[in-house]
Amino acid sequence: MKYVFCMILLFSTVFAFETSEPPSPASGASTDWLKYDNGTEMWYTREGTYRGVWFNLEDFVPGWTQGIAISETYMWFSHETAQPWDVSEVYFELWNGNASGPDLFLDRTLITAVDYAPSCVFFSSAVIADSEFWCIANTELSTEGAPTTVSDGAGSSVAHSFYSNNFTSWTPWSPSGFSNYFIGTFGWPPGELDATTWASLKATF
């Protein structure tokens, strides 16, 4: 059975949400990650064996159709006392693909998830992705969908976080409108701009 949790701390009539920030890139070039979440977690979920975010670089730099050299990725997980993880290991996967789903495999890295902190992958050689790509948590080592993914409750107008049990049919994650997993990437256009120039260009939009 898969579980979905809503992290709402109720005191009288006040809803309190904690805010978290992504890690600073190890390269030190910029703290400007590519991400869709708003930094305030509301939901914990194990829905779907595969949970991923579809990135479209045009959302960050309008008109950009070149690819990206990804140097780092992160995901946030939460370990609930009432529903402990049966495993802590999870695959981070990178795929090319548009909104319909991932279609070209790029990389898979096995890591040990940490509780309520960024679980990171640092690539010794950057992974070259298209202008539309996916970063996916593959939980097939677990029988329960662990480790548990953290998401916001933003109610975005466009779906960017999806889950799947068969890697073919992808369902938007929408517990309260289109919400966003805490998954981010860091990189810059391959062979074109250095990291600082890319960050400056991205910041203008």
Q: What distance in Å separates the CA atoms of residue 116 and residue 119, rounded to the nearest whole number?
A: 9
Of 37, 27, 34, nearest in space to 71 by CA: 27
Distance CA 36, CA 58 (A): 13
Residue 198 DSSP symbol: H
Do residues 139 and 145 touch, judged by C-beta distance below 8 A?
yes
User: pLDDT tens across 104-143, in order?
Assistant: 999 999 999 999 889 999 998 999 999 999 999 999 999 9
Q: pLDDT-derived band of residue 81, with 50, 70 and 90 as boundaries?
A: confident
How many whole angstroms separate alpha carbon 36 and alpha carbon 152? 9
With contact defined as beta carbons under 8 Å apart, do 175 and 127 qualify? no
- Which value, in Å, is the radius of gyration of the alpha carbons in the chain? 16
CA triplet 89, 91, 95: central angle to 5 degrees?
Answer: 170
The domain locations on the chain are 41-203
Percent of the chain scoring above 70 in pLDDT? 77
Q: Of the given ranges (5-19, 42-56, 104-118, 170-184), which has the lowest mean pLDDT? A: 5-19
Query: Could you tell me which of 137, 149, 151 has the C-alpha nearest to residue 90?
Result: 137
Say whether pLDDT at 181 is over 80.
Answer: yes
Q: Tokens 């030190």, residue? A: 28
Q: Judging by DSSP bridges, how do beta strands 14-16 and 171-172 pair with one another? A: unpaired
The pTM of the full predicted model, rounded to 2 decimals, is: 0.82
201 by DSSP, 3-state: which? helix
Instruction: At 30, list the tokens.
Output: 């910029």
- DSSP state letters, 161-187: EEEESSSSS-EE--BTBB--BSEEEEE
Average pLDDT of the segment spanning 155-169: 95
What is residue 172's predicted lDDT score, i.e. its pLDDT? 97
- The rounded distance, in Å, linking the Cα atoms of 25 and 186 is 7
pLDDT value at residue 15:
24
List 77's β-bridge partners, or say none.
Answer: 115, 149
Share of the chain above pLDDT 90, in %: 65
The model's confidence at residue 202, banded by pLDDT at 50, 70 and 90, is low
Phi, psi of 45 (to 5 degrees): -145, 145
Task: Give CA–CA dist 75/80, Å, rounded.
Answer: 16
- Amino acid present at 19: T
